[in-house]
């Protein structure tokens, strides 16, 4: 009788469903190549997406990605429409007042992209010119802080580059990996545009994953994954894949 009971318990243990991994839903404005964008197969992909998938594997959670327009992405987090934001969000003191951030996962600088024939060497050379940037990004903030330039904002950075290509703008300011993607690698733009300079803002900029204030459970899992990815050098492999080298 005891043997039958033990066998029955073993059978239950073997056939029991495994504990499901926690799912974290990440919002992303997938218009920011090579960090996060929609590929030819209509899949959300990019450096940050691969990074967070690797982090999920290391930390034992499931990562899901939801395409969300940049305008309103922070309000959606605050209202609980998703758990986190993985969308090239620079960690700033102002943003830290309303949301919590993960360990930084990418160092970034602002770059000025201009037509290939332009003589501009720095953003100060653009006085009297019109500069475009994606609205409410640190590139947009950099433009607005520059004296003597005209500011034109866009919902997507790709629209700014299209206007620059077509002569409707004098320059675009955006994060340096995005600048490199459009000015150096994009087949349509690479012969027509160039990176004039990297804008020295005084302080280093870092991307982080944003979560709701006080969401320690998700933040701890995300940080565990980020730290494992960095410790194992997986981030270096992703840099080589998406950006072509180390930063």
Domain 22-107+206-242 sits in CATH 3.40.1260.10: no
Give the C-alpha distances (Å, rounded to integers) separating 136 from 24, 125, 152, 174, 219. Answer: 25, 23, 12, 11, 24
User: Roughly how many angstroms between the first and final C-alpha of the chain, as a whole number?
Assistant: 66
- Asked if residue 7 has pLDDT above 90, the reply is no
- Asked if residue 48 has pLDDT above 80, the reply is yes
- Give CA angle at 39 (36, 103), nearest 5°: 20
The predicted model scores a pTM of 0.80
| Residue 40: both structure tokens together | 């030819």
117-121, 231-235, 239-243: range with lowest mean pLDDT: 239-243
Q: How many residues does the chain have?
A: 247
| Residue 209: both structure tokens together | 């994953």
User: Max alpha carbon distance in the chain (Å)?
Assistant: 91
Over pLDDT 70: what percentage of the chain? 90
Q: Write the pLDDT tens digit of every residue in 68-108.
A: 999 999 999 999 999 999 999 999 999 999 999 999 999 99
| Contact assessment for residue 27 and residue 52, using Cβ atoms and an 8 Å cutoff | no
Q: Is 85 left (phi over 0), alpha (psi -120 to 50) or beta?
A: beta
- Helix, coil or strand: residue 165: helix
| pLDDT of the residue at 21 | 81
- Helix, coil or strand: residue 145: helix
Domain 110-199, what fold?
A: D-Maltodextrin-Binding Protein; domain 2 (3.40.190)
Residue owning tokens 């005209």? 150
**Averaged pLDDT for residues 22-51:** 96
- Asked if residue 162 has pLDDT above 60, the reply is yes
Radius of gyration of the chain (CA): 22
Query: Which residue from 91, 52, 34 is spatially nearest to 205, judged by alpha carbons?
Result: 91
- Helix, coil or strand: residue 27: strand
Most confident of the ranges 13-22, 105-114, 201-210: 105-114
- Asked if residue 2 has pLDDT above 80, the reply is no
Band (244; pLDDT cuts 50, 70, 90): confident
Q: Where in the chain is the domain with CATH 3.40.190.10?
A: 22-107+206-242, 110-199
- Asked if residue 6 has pLDDT above 90, the reply is no
Q: Write the pLDDT tens digit of every residue in 172-231.
A: 999 999 999 999 889 999 999 999 999 876 677 999 999 999 999 999 999 999 999 999
| Residue 115: both structure tokens together | 């037509």
What distance in Å separates the CA atoms of residue 154 and residue 66, rounded to the nearest whole number? 21
What distance in Å separates the CA atoms of residue 234 and residue 50, rounded to the nearest whole number? 10
| pLDDT of the residue at 202 | 62
- Helix, coil or strand: residue 197: strand
| pLDDT of the residue at 144 | 94
| Residue 190: both structure tokens together | 């690479």
């Amino acid at each position: 009788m005891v043997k039958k009971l033990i066998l029955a318990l073993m059978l239950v243990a073997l056939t029991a469903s495994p504990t499901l991994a926690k799912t974290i839903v990440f919002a992303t404005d997938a218009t920011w190549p090579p960090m996060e964008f929609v590929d030819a197969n209509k899949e959300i992909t990019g450096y940050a997406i691969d990074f967070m998938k690797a982090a999920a594997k290391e930390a034992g959670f499931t990562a899901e990605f939801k395409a969300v327009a940049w305008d309103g992405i922070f309000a959606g987090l605050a209202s609980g429409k998703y758990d986190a934001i993985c969308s090239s969000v620079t960690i700033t003191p102002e943003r830290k007042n309303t949301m919590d951030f993960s360990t930084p996962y990418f160092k970034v600088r602002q770059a000025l992209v201009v037509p290939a024939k332009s003589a501009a060497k720095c953003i100060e050379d653009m006085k009297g010119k019109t500069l475009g940037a994606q609205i409410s990004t640190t590139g947009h903030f950099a433009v607005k802080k520059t004296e003597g330039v005209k500011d034109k904002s866009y919902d997507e950075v790709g629209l700014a580059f299209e206007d620059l290509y077509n002569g409707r703008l004098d320059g675009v300011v955006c994060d340096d990996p995005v600048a490199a993607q459009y000015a150096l690698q994009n087949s349509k733009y690479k012969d027509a545009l160039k990176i004039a300079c990297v804008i020295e803002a005084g302080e280093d900029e870092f991307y982080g994953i944003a979560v709701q204030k006080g969401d320690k459970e998700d933040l701890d899992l995300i940080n565990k994954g980020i730290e494992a990815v960095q410790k194992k050098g997986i981030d270096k492999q992703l840099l080589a894949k998406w950006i072509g080298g180390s930063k």
